[in-house]
Amino acid sequence: MRETVRGRRVRTAAAALTAVALLATGVLTGCDSSSDNRANGSPAKRRPSPTPVWDRSPDSIAAVGDSITRGFDACVVLSDCPEVSWATGSDATVNSLALRLMGAPAVAERAWNYARSGAEVSDLPAQMTQAAARKPELVTVMVGANDACADTTASMTPVEEFRTSFTGALRELRRTAPKSQVYVSSVPDLKRLWSTGRGNPLGRQIWKLGICATMLGDAEDESVQAQQRRTEVQDRVKAYNGVLRDVCAKDRRCRYDGGAVFDYRFSGDQLSRWDWFHPSKNGQGRLAEIAYRNITAVRPPV
């Protein structure tokens, strides 16, 4: 039986509509799928969001470094006072970084202080080994002042040796605690500390005992030679801070303070009443504020 003209037209129109529908489906599928999915015909898959590298609320802290982190001369003359440490202290008036992040009950159980008064950067790898054994979520680092505070400027730690020791310290941490975060404080501006404390007669007498001789020795001497010596020490501190920044930048879980401690202007109330050099309880509190602000920030300081 012969097909009518009307029948042929209906079949042609239906075929055209089917082709258009298939074409539209292909276009839409192409918009929602990756090129790989188009090739194998599988449906598009949503990629999971990456886990943030920096945790702004760590739940355990280990501190490494020197006398500043030990709270030296903040409570009793010529003595450590770790309970007022900016990093791990339990003193409520200081409100340490650990207290701000974890609260008082947790500090006694999950905050450890491995800093040592008099420590230089060469001591840092051993301290990091101790800290890493705890598998802390955060390690704080403040070191470098003693490397510049030598008997003479010639005795200051060379910059490349400083780099080698700090790099080795991070390597020691990563060997045992690869996921621990690291917060690195800049070295304070020793020249500004000299400028702030030199007006105090008691402080000058204590300085004569040998505290940071390169910067504080002959505190009232403002000769060209003395000024050049102090500038050399300040330049070395800046170089150390450059090393801390650069080495830290190569570690995905390391955050440098952007020079915040170096830039901070400690007042007389924020320096020890015994040596006018180390932070007082007030000064320890200011260090804690700086650290907390940088650690909890969405983005690292620049």
> What pLDDT score does 140 carry?
98
Mean pLDDT for all residues in the chain: 87
> What pLDDT score does 11 carry?
43
The DSSP element (H or E) to which 140 belongs, if any, is strand 138-142
Prediction pTM value: 0.83
| Sheet bearing 138-142, strands edge to edge | 111-113, 61-65, 138-142, 181-184, 254-256
> What pLDDT score does 6 carry?
39
| Residue among 181, 135, 145, 189 nearest 291 (CA) | 181
Q: Is 22's pLDDT higher than 60?
A: no
More confident residue, 117 or 25: 117
> What pLDDT score does 52 carry?
60
pLDDT digits (tens, 9 = 90+) for 150-182: 999 999 999 999 999 999 999 999 999 999 999
Q: Please tell me the least confidently modeled range out of 50-59, 121-130, 219-228, 290-299.
A: 50-59
> What pLDDT score does 241 carry?
98
* 30 — pLDDT class (breaks 50, 70, 90): very low
> What pLDDT score does 53 carry?
84
> What pLDDT score does 199 carry?
87
Would you list the domain boundaries of the chain?
5-40, 61-295
What 3-state class would DSSP assign to 274?
coil
Q: Is 120's pLDDT higher than 60?
A: yes
pLDDT winner (highest mean) among 48-52, 200-204, 290-294: 290-294
Q: Where are the beta strands (DSSP E) in 84-137?
A: 111-113
Q: Is 248's pLDDT higher than 70?
A: yes
Domain 61-295, what architecture?
A: 3-Layer(aba) Sandwich (3.40)
* 28 — pLDDT class (breaks 50, 70, 90): very low
Q: Is 267's pLDDT higher than 90?
A: yes
Whole-number Å distance between alpha carbons of 138 and 35: 41
| Residue 54: other Cβ atoms inside 10 A | 17
